[in-house]
Amino acid sequence: MAEAFNEALAPRVGSDTAALTRFRSFFSNELTKGTEMLFSWRPGNVLGVSIGGREVGTVESAALCRALFDVYLGNKPISPAGKKTVVARLPEIVGARRQP
């Protein structure tokens, strides 16, 4: 998984290789099919990473945040079907965050 992320993100991250290296370190263990990964772009350009319901770390990098979301939601997403799913669920996601 780390190598797949590296291949997709390296051209988009530019010179912020330290952030990419830290991000890749979160995927040192083999993931099983169906494992949920959650990426959250937090204030201050902090990328939160959770795997299997457990937060594994954060990286502060505007370039990495933009690159990761571009991979999934940009003009050429790695999964067009995945992009459609995220876009379709945006009202639900945004609505959930507004509730107390």
Say which range, 4-8, 40-44, 91-95, has the weakest mean pLDDT.
Answer: 91-95
Domain count, the chain: 1
Q: In what order do the strands lie in the sheet with 37-42?
A: 37-42, 46-51, 54-60
What is the separation, in whole angstroms, between the first and last Cα of the chain? Answer: 36
Q: What is the DSSP string of 35-100?
A: --EEEEEETTTEEEEEETTEEEEEEE-HHHHHHHHHHHHSSS-S-HHHHHHHHHHHHHHHHHHH--
CATH code of the domain in which 27 resides: 3.50.70.10
Banded model confidence at residue 1, pLDDT cuts 50, 70, 90: confident
Banded model confidence at residue 41, pLDDT cuts 50, 70, 90: very high
Determine the Cα–Cα distance for residues 47 and 44; give it in Å rounded to an integer: 9
pLDDT reported for residue 96? 62
Task: Give the residue numbers spanning the domain of 88.
Answer: 2-98
Please, what is the average pLDDT of the chain?
A: 87
Report the 10 Å Cβ neighbour count for 78. Answer: 11
